[in-house]
Structure 1
Amino acid sequence: MAEIDRSDIVIIGAGVVGCALFRRFALMGLKPLLVEAGGDILSGASKGNSALLHTGFDALPDSLELTCMQAGYREYLEIREHLNLPLVESSALVVAWDDEQLTKLPEIVAKAHRNGVGDVREIGRDNLRRREPHLADTARGAVLVPGEHIIDPWSAPLAYVHQGLAHGGRIHRRCRVTGGDFNGDHWRLETTNGEMAAGLVINAAGNYGDIVEAICRTSPFKITPRKGQFVVFDKPAAALAHAIILPVPTERTKGIVISRTAFGNLLVGPTAEDQEDRALAEVDQAMLQHLIAKGTEMLPALAQQTVNAVYAGLRPATQFKDYQIDFLPERHWITVGGIRSTGLTAALGIAQHVAALYQQRFDGTTTTRPIWTPVPNLCEYRERPYQTPAGGDILCHCEWVTRQEVEQALAGPFPAGDLGGLKRRTRCMMGRCQGFYCGAEASRLADERWSANNAQAAS
């Protein structure tokens, strides 16, 4: 009989929230096991987002989402230098494009102040034009949000995982949880990697959250994935906008955003399209043309810029506006569901909140002497390896990724598990040619490393 894998806590799902939970519980001296169905972390909803650090100025007042976002925002700022995580201090502007939207700006400011974001203020057309001279003449005024910033969407969760591993946590990739039962003391989980036993299970399964929840109970929420499509313009376009350009939001969506990225491009998106498929996020030519048209309408000079890439992500939307976080102490189960577009900012705050729920029933105190695990810099606005004497040969010329960076991403205690993971750890194959020139060599290096790892594991 195969030996059962036993852990204090099993966290299902290695999106950004799962990675932050993994870090938090490892820092508490527990031995969490993070299980992910994909080949690497961020294989699901977390791989496609707008990469913004939110203040919560426009969140639902008194909501759990707001609490977690603001706690996550503060902790990111506290730990980012220890983990070598970037912050592009851009600010944001909620721009009114007509008289009706202009009348809504005071309400946005009042909501921000109620949410504790006191530096938010309304600015007039002349001030807006000085700040963003490339905006279309139809811009009437704006709300300035100084604390909204741009971050790297993939390095933060990678750093959380590395720190969790350094404190004794473990990770299983390509491991899907298919069922389980609770005996009153611990869970026995059925997975594609065999049976696992856990004192506590945390469901952070993203777009599959309601399916995983059915292992424990009838799910109180239903996931309807909301697709967001994005257009990424080439790097010269980034000079057209300093701040994050936000629309006046509607009841259903925050709308289409224009923002620089940490990688030096300009992003336009996302859309908000509900669908049933939980895995496949296809890009649609007509919708992408719509995004390009909307972007050009707001920034006319975009008409002279070229598109670098397009992509789509799925957000785990539910029928509820707020996060679905619940603790079932008698069942040794914590639900972390319905974490939508604000999850990147809120992840650390969610982990704090879930840890506090856990401590209501079980023991665990966060260490005051953490091991710090800084990750390589991918941000275009800081020094990168190719700019240093020790950088070595360039492998990906579109994104200036060195061979050494790729080799390092395939080595160490937690190497990239698939090509998607390699891209997210290096920016390799994510430039204008989309891997046409560098993809074969990057794949060869990856295959060699994975073959060597497999041979070592077999022996």
Structure 2
Amino acid sequence: MLDHAQYDVVVIGAGVVGCAIARRFTLEGARVAVLEKATDILDGASKANSAILHTGFDAPNGSLELQCVRAGYAEYQSIRDGLGLVQDHASAYVVAWTPEELRGLESIQRKAHQNGITDVQLVDAATLRKSEPNLSANALGAAFVPGESLIDPWSAPYVYLRQAIENGAKVFTSCGVTGGEFDGERWCIDTSMGQIRGRTVINCAGLYGDAVDQTLLGEVDFQIKPRKGQFVVFDKAASKLVSAIILPVPSETTKGIVVFRTVFGNLAVGPTAEEQHSRTDASTDEATLKALIADGVAKIPALKDMPVTATYAGLRPASEQKDYRISSKPEQNWVTVGGIRSTGLSGALGIAQHVYGLYAAMGASHERLSDPVRPQANMLSETGPRDWKREQCGEVVCHCELVTRREIAVALSGPLPARSLAGLKRQTRATMGRCQGFYCAARLAELTDGCFDRPMARSITDE
């Protein structure tokens, strides 16, 4: 149940942006509470993405998105080693496949340079093929972006929120917001677990950001228009076919379909960009997945013989505008952080900096922590020091992803204990390998007995 403490800040939503904001405010000395309606954190838009740390080379010139992505990228570099975060300096090529796209590469380079990403350069087809010999001969040239990187999309926000917790923040899961009132100085928020009080509310509700504004403020300045992105994941042998991230020339509405390695050793193709009304439908469909596979094969012909390990879809909280929908209402001690589309993972730390600036402009101030606790992120990257290589790790429970019994135990008992199979996957990658849980599900059911809100059998059926 909720406690009766008086918080400086109540963050609604524990996606990657909410986690980063909780961390920033806690380190600045604020008393922070985080409310998440799902059983586990990262259960909305943040559970499915392409795991790319963007430089901001193609963000709209002068936009808040560009500001936050650049600041987030820089902060990730500065905290990476201290928190044990992963970064694969893969680089990227924005590849032109038609004469029209080839002509458009100069504008991409120009925008990148205007955005301060001055190392972006154009390369011809021969240079591109020398670097990426498995690309189709139809590739006509590319813009080379050295700074684009691959990261772990879940361990990073987990450690952001763990750092907040270990420095005093409180996190309440299965805690949906149902209403609230502002008395002129402080908010009293009604939730499914009772009431909680805080001076300032930060709405990071993602796919439900507009709904939360409407419920608590009685008005909303934007509308979330969910955009589905489907992905296919090829077997780990496919990751050897490319070294860099293969980006398309973007359109007005989407960054397009990307071919990218993951830090977990796979190769993925996606996402699509499908407008829909549902905020929960993250299903995949056969026709779209076949089209994604065909797109991947057209770009990398050797993928034709590679098996697909997994498919998934995620929803992005797009709005009517391209730019982020971040605004403050000082008279109501309120900040809305909405419309964070495809760059939330890259921009999260920068968004947190920006939001703290809005908060400080309201007149709030705290004493920054002088020596904060620095937890270590879960190491799930194939190239990192994995737990199975250490002594006394226990049995290997998931052989496809080499997940140990000790890793399972830590995920079930840590400061953010997994309360569902989906949450356990994000903390350990159990069942996310080639067999998709066929061989390890029974053992996992034994190890998680009594730990989940829904037993393993029902969780697998739901997914």
TM-score by length of 2: 0.95
Aligned amino acid, residue 10 of structure 2 = V
Which residue of structure 1 aligns with residue 457 of structure 2?
Answer: none
Aligned amino acid, residue 287 of structure 1 = T
Report the Cα distance in structure 1 between the residues aligned to 2:238 and 2:213, rounded to whole angstroms: 43
Aligned amino acid, residue 403 of structure 2 = V
CA contact (8 A) 1:83 1:373 kept: yes
Report SS of the residue matched to 1:308: strand
Report the Cα distance in structure 1 between the residues aligned to 2:150 and 2:422, rounded to whole angstroms: 22
Per-residue deviation at 1:381? Answer: 1.7
Per-residue deviation at 1:294? Answer: 0.3
Which residue of structure 1 aligns with residue 12 of structure 2?
Answer: 12
Report the Cα distance in structure 1 between the residues aligned to 2:73 and 2:422, rounded to whole angstroms: 27
Report SS of the residue matched to 2:448: helix
Which residue of structure 2 aligns with residue 456 of structure 1?
Answer: none
RMSD: 1.3
Query: Are 2:340 and 1:339 equivalent residues in the alignment?
Result: yes
Per-residue deviation at 1:166? Answer: 1.2
Report the Cα distance in structure 2 between the residues aligned to 1:98 and 1:119, rounded to whole angstroms: 24
List aligned pairs for 1:23-172, cutoff 5 A. 23-172=23-172
Q: Which among 392, 395, 402 is matched to residue 400 of structure 1?
A: 402
Aligned amino acid, residue 137 of structure 2 = D
List aligned pairs for 1:378-397, cutoff 5 A. 378-397=380-399
In the alignment of these two chains, the number of paired residues is: 450
Which residue of structure 2 aligns with residue 204 of structure 1?
Answer: 204
Aligned amino acid, residue 307 of structure 2 = T
Which residue of structure 2 aligns with residue 374 of structure 1?
Answer: 376
Report the Cα distance in structure 2 between the residues aligned to 1:366 and 1:336, rounded to whole angstroms: 23
Residues 3, 172 of structure 1: alpha-carbon distance in 2 compared, 3 angstrom cutoff: closer
Which residue of structure 2 aligns with residue 246 of structure 1?
Answer: 247
Q: Which moved more, 1:80-89 or 1:440-449?
A: 440-449
CA contact (8 A) 2:231 2:268 kept: yes
Per-residue deviation at 1:96? Answer: 0.5
Aligned amino acid, residue 394 of structure 2 = G
CA contact (8 A) 2:419 2:451 kept: no
Per-residue deviation at 1:446? Answer: 1.9
Q: Which moved more, 1:315-324 or 1:213-222?
A: 213-222
For each residue in 1:122-179, what CA deviation from the matched residue of structure 2 results, as whole angstroms up to 9, or x when unmatched? 0011110110000000000000000000000000011011100111100000000011
Which residue of structure 2 aligns with residue 313 of structure 1?
Answer: 314
Report SS of the residue matched to 1:410: helix
Aligned amino acid, residue 126 of structure 1 = A
Aligned amino acid, residue 274 of structure 1 = E
Aligned amino acid, residue 79 of structure 1 = I
Which residue of structure 2 aligns with residue 353 of structure 1?
Answer: 354
- Flag as ranges the 4+ runs of structure 1 deviating above 2 A: 2-6, 364-370, 387-392, 447-451
Report the Cα distance in structure 2 between the residues aligned to 1:37 and 1:69, rounded to whole angstroms: 27
CA contact (8 A) 2:421 2:452 kept: no
CA contact (8 A) 1:398 1:432 kept: yes
CA contact (8 A) 1:255 1:271 kept: yes
Per-residue deviation at 1:5? Answer: 5.3
Aligned amino acid, residue 170 of structure 2 = R
CA contact (8 A) 2:11 2:34 kept: yes
Residues 389, 70 of structure 1: alpha-carbon distance in 2 compared, 3 angstrom cutoff: same
Report the Cα distance in structure 1 between the residues aligned to 2:197 and 2:449, rounded to whole angstroms: 33
Structure 2, gaps ≥5 residues long: 454-463
Calculate percent identity across the aligned residue pairs: 52
TM-score by length of 1: 0.96
Per-residue deviation at 1:450? Answer: 5.3
CA contact (8 A) 2:418 2:452 kept: no
Report the Cα distance in structure 2 between the residues aligned to 1:120 and 1:204, rounded to whole angstroms: 33
Which residue of structure 2 aligns with residue 364 of structure 1?
Answer: 366
Which residue of structure 1 aligns with residue 449 of structure 2?
Answer: 447
Per-residue deviation at 1:384? Answer: 1.1
Q: Which moved more, 1:388-397 or 1:63-72?
A: 388-397
Structure 1, gaps ≥5 residues long: 452-459
Report the Cα distance in structure 2 between the residues aligned to 1:190 and 1:213, rounded to whole angstroms: 14
Report the Cα distance in structure 1 between the residues aligned to 2:425 and 2:5, rounded to whole angstroms: 31
Which residue of structure 2 aligns with residue 226 of structure 1?
Answer: 227
Per-residue deviation at 1:273? Answer: 0.3
Which residue of structure 1 aligns with residue 268 of structure 2?
Answer: 267
Residues 350, 365 of structure 1: alpha-carbon distance in 2 compared, 3 angstrom cutoff: farther
Aligned amino acid, residue 44 of structure 1 = G
Report SS of the residue matched to 1:447: coil
Which residue of structure 2 aligns with residue 455 of structure 1?
Answer: none
